[in-house]
A and B are shown apart, each in its own frame.
Chain A
């Protein structure tokens, strides 16, 4: 039957295409129990769908090949039998299949993806969405960072997410389902990573002009490395080690930087943009828009609008030497 071959072909095509596309943001490469259960759910539903689709297409192929035929295969051509077939395939079988799916997904799998009771998780992280970046706080410590969330590997982490302005949605596909970040109404979701690595996510609710570049990354580290990282994040900024860096701090505090950004250990207390206390410990800038390297950083400071059109950060009116000092300073915020 060419139909079955076609169905099988498209099925394997879907499989290979999907697996070949396994990036760090794929739901089909899960790294936690909930994400794995959702993936299994998907494959089960796909198989069921292909069977249903194939069956109905089979009827159409019969009609195509033998238009003069007046009965159904097996059932024959008595009107009562034909109507009964509609009732069986249109009502009875779907009812059974839907109940099975309902119990499997909405009673069973859902329990794995539910937000955990806070006491069951080892730690809580607060993630706040803003246009167009994520603030990350570790309650119980002074640590505040942005866009890059570090967690210990093999640990259930309770994410509490909210929005500062419009609705965003927090989603790390490999680690669990998504949950919306709403203004004034915190939502929770568990994340868990079964091996060290970087897991990418995106804002999943349209949130304005830079919705496309509001990404987030989860770094799962060994417990020791995570502990070291968190201890460092909790400290105030390292003292500027060079005269140029010290001059850079003066630039930072005297230009408008400090009105939006906080650098713990200085008088900069702005809360509009990301906390920059340990800026250099992050791999990216602008919510994963560009790499956090010297050239990009300098470019971002003087002309952020070119790199991320519409970002709330204004271009800085600054002289060459001032920029040099400022970048030197920021580069030392490890």
Chain B
């Protein structure tokens, strides 16, 4: 796509913006960056690496179970690998990929902002996420990885039954990573409420932003119960308190309640950004506005909200009072409604639009199909007697992989293809992209569909081995072969991206006819995102040609360019009227340093050197003081 050179007045302004916003290149640049796009890329590669680790763990699990009485790994190693697979995928791969990578890179671009509301906090989130991930994974070096499953039930996880440091890596590591996630969530809430381009009132906000907003609120409320539970457990383990000790008046079910008060909203936290990605891709490739836009926006918020009232459906076998189980399953059925609204909004948009079945849309259609299966089995699990029959069997494993792999990872991969041209400036390979979809789709179904049958015919989950003769061999064999096929499909995605990054055709600014603001800027976007703060008058700003033309004119006239410094505008919460101009900080070492001192603190807590840990805490305080010493500079 040929770009016309801007008039000289506009070019001078662009040069000035470039000078103001440019960050140093090289390692120092990456360590001190506050640019949401670069932080997004750091998140992307880090969570991709963790995803690969979790994937290798999954392949080990499947290889162990390829036939009865498998002996690839020892029972203890299996438990650690199984636990790390869950912890990795939930905490270190999928959520950071969606919120950290996609949210960070795209959200400010979609809402017409130049950065996140708190750029240093944003960088801090990333560095803490990295440090906590390394902290958790360091447990594998000594063969002492967490081994009580990702939901880590007590008393199995108590000091008495898990004397090693395994569980301490889990508790401290997740408290650590929770700091990063909370900070990110708050950052997104403020960014979405205050940094939208003037004119982008809440009802004109892209649905992706609605999804991120809903997720951020869910995280803010879901993480405290988890942190409380983890702190209780670590106090029990390290200092001999008795929160979960039945013999001394503690309660083992307390852990389950606290964990699932976090853990179920977490499920929606995992799929909501994926819903957002789907609602970003579908209108573009169907050349049609979303059907029932307000209903979908409302549904996204409702899912996050109702998600807090369903946690005990994970506990239907623990012997709760029947009236309790009935309440929680009723809530679980109610939450089906917002999901089915979205489902039918997506499908009718596709049917009534003019779909171009390019790679990103294929992944989204795959997502719709898989999410329906995962959703329908989810409804089945709200039928109490049925849940009590298949609870903790492979039926559950099949169900939640359809939800997490089908409904979260598929849209993420679709999104990677979709925004790859924007981030790199090059097109992905369409043929390989489609092929990778079909291989992954087949592998996914071959891996996870037989699990439902396996659960129905009685195989419990989390078994490192199983006996022959119960009819479990065939399904297990299929699943393992499916897992290898799945791995091939995912490797094809990676191969496509690497090849296209090197040799892909130049993509231009807007290769797909996208509807949101990120397509209005160059690919890759400039460090300042927008030459002039864009004008917005509908939820599909890229389809409002006049507004985009007026943006170009405003750049020439120097209106809304904010070339006086490192600045972005703030707007009012509901109507997004122009409110004030914010000075934004530029690159800083403090976020990175804090993650280092915090890593030291958590390591010392793990080793039970509490005085040294206190030293690191003081050090963290000092860096924080340095952080606030100098206010954002004006260039």
Contacts and interface: CB of A to CB of B under 8 A. Distances in A.
B253 A182 contact: yes
Interface residues of B, number: 86
Interface of A: 14, 17-18, 20-28, 34-35, 37-38, 41-42, 45, 49, 52-53, 56-57, 59-60, 62-64, 67-72, 77, 82-83, 85-87, 89-91, 94-95, 98, 101-102, 104-106, 109-110, 112-114, 131, 165-167, 169, 171, 173, 177-180, 182-185, 187-188, 200, 202-213, 309-310
List of 10 A-B pairs having minimum Cβ-Cβ separation, nearest first: A21-B471, A25-B458, A105-B383, A177-B388, A212-B463, A23-B470, A90-B344, A187-B319, A90-B341, A49-B376
Given A82-B291, A211-B463, A106 B458 contact: no
6 contacts: A68-B354, A70-B353, A87-B295, A101-B333, A106-B326, A178-B389
A82 B348 CA distance: 7
Contact of A106 (B247, B329, B461): B329
Contacts of B466: 212
A105 B386 CA distance: 8
B457 interface: yes
Contact of B380 (A49, A113, A169, A188): A49
Contact of A94 (B337, B350, B471): B337
B179 interface: no
B469 A45 contact: no
B354 A207 contact: no
Given A60-B368, A166-B161, 6 more contacts: A21-B471, A60-B350, A167-B156, A173-B389, A187-B318, A212-B464
Nearest to B351: A63
Nearest to B299: A90
Nearest to A52: B376
Interface of B: 74-76, 79, 147-149, 153, 155-156, 161, 246-247, 252-253, 291-292, 295, 317-319, 322, 325-326, 329-330, 333-334, 336-337, 340-345, 347-348, 350-357, 365, 368-369, 372-373, 376-377, 379-380, 382-386, 388-393, 450, 452-453, 456-466, 469-472, 474-475
A38 B389 CA distance: 8
Contact of B352 (A25, A57, A77, A180): A77
A113 B389 CA distance: 10
B357 A64 contact: yes
A82 B352 contact: yes
Given A42-B456, A105-B384, A210-B75, A91 B341 contact: yes
A60 B347 CA distance: 7
B474 A38 contact: no
A28 B456 contact: yes
A25 B458 CA distance: 5
A81 to B, nearest CB: 10
Nearest to A73: B351
Contacts of B472: 21, 23
B317 A165 contact: no
A206 B148 contact: yes
B385 A67 contact: no
Contacts of B355: 63-64, 67
Contacts of A113: 385, 388
